[in-house]
């Protein structure tokens, strides 16, 4: 059989084996019974298993195409493996650090809209992982000029993203605050309201949302701007008191 055909088969088999190994590792390490810190590294460890499978397939393919190259390969591997291990450790630790950073950020941005929280988490996690990848690449012996350009690009993207995030986030919060101020003239605590599929009694008017208690005693926060953009039915608390209580005396 042609050596190139054997090489292609070897690479394909290595990829399949790596994929299966990655899924098994992810299922074992990412199990719900594991501590959170261990589950956080499930994805990078599974990716490492996939990489080892692909590399094994490539090495086998190289042996079919150019057997002489395998004579030098062990010495090259011995020199390269420590660098690869350091790079892998950097990536794994970066994922763990990113998880802790996003958890801390959730507390700091707890009062901000959900879309802003998601964007902030994505920016922070992406930045940490990107910097770790660049540092890992430098450990593998890639030209430092390329690494420096990558670092500069990451910091530029970070600055631009945070600028955009603050602008959009501030605009979103300001819109909700303005809507809440307008609603205070229309809706009061104790009023019964119906908006979309939510029906209940207004418990509180917060700076950016209206808290509604449904008939099932669930507490629902509806953004203030939602009231201005949808049809709302309001039954005054005073009207219900007059109807349900003793008749008014004229």
Q: State whether 167 and 110 are in the same domain.
A: yes
Provide the pLDDT for residue 124: 77
**What is the spatial distance between Cα 176 and Cα 169, in angstroms, rounded to a whole number?**
11
Residue 75 lies in a domain: no
- Domain hosting 26: range is 1-67
Strand order in the sheet with 232-235: 219-223, 209-214, 198-205, 192-195, 232-235
**221-241 pLDDT per residue, tens:** 787 777 777 777 777 766 554
Of 168, 183, 198, the one marking the end of a domain is 183
How many domains are there within the chain? Answer: 3
Provide the pLDDT for residue 24: 92
Q: State whether 56 and 117 are in the same domain.
A: no
Q: State whether 143 and 199 are in the same domain.
A: no
Displacement of CA 54 from its chain's centroid (Å): 27
Provide the pLDDT for residue 244: 44
The model's pTM: 0.40
Provide the pLDDT for residue 139: 75
**What is the spatial distance between Cα 206 and Cα 6, in angstroms, rounded to a whole number?**
68
Q: State whether 99 and 156 are in the same domain.
A: yes
Stretches where the chain sits below pLDDT 50 are 168, 241-250
The candidate with the shortest Cα–Cα distance to 189, out of 238, 224, 223, is: 238
**113-163 pLDDT per residue, tens:** 566 667 777 777 777 877 787 777 777 776 656 656 666 666 666 666 556
């Amino acid at each position: 059989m042609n050596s190139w055909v054997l090489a292609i088969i070897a690479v394909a088999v290595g990829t399949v084996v790596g994929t299966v190994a990655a899924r098994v590792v992810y299922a074992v390490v990412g199990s719900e019974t594991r501590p959170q810190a261990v589950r956080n590294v499930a994805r990078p460890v599974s990716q490492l298993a996939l990489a080892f499978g692909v590399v094994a397939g490539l090495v086998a393919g190289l042996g079919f195409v150019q057997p002489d190259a395998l004579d030098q390969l062990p010495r090259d591997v011995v020199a390269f493996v420590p660098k690869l291990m350091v790079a892998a450790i950097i990536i794994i630790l970066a994922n763990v650090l990113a998880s802790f950073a996003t958890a801390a950020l959730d507390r700091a941005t707890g009062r901000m809209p959900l879309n802003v929280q998601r964007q902030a988490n994505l920016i922070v996690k992406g930045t940490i992982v990107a910097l770790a990848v660049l540092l890992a690449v430098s450990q593998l012996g890639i030209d430092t000029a390329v690494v420096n350009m990558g670092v500069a690009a990451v910091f530029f993207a970070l600055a631009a993203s945070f600028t955009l995030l603050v602008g959009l986030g501030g605009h979103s919060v300001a819109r909700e605050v303005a809507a809440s101020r307008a609603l205070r003239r229309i809706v009061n605590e104790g009023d019964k309201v119906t908006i979309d599929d939510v029906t209940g009694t207004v418990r509180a008017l917060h700076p950016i949302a209206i808290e509604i208690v449904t008939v099932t005693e669930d507490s629902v926060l509806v953004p203030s701007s939602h009231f201005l953009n949808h049809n709302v039915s309001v039954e005054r608390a005073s009207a219900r008191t007059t109807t349900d209580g003793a008749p008014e005396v004229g």
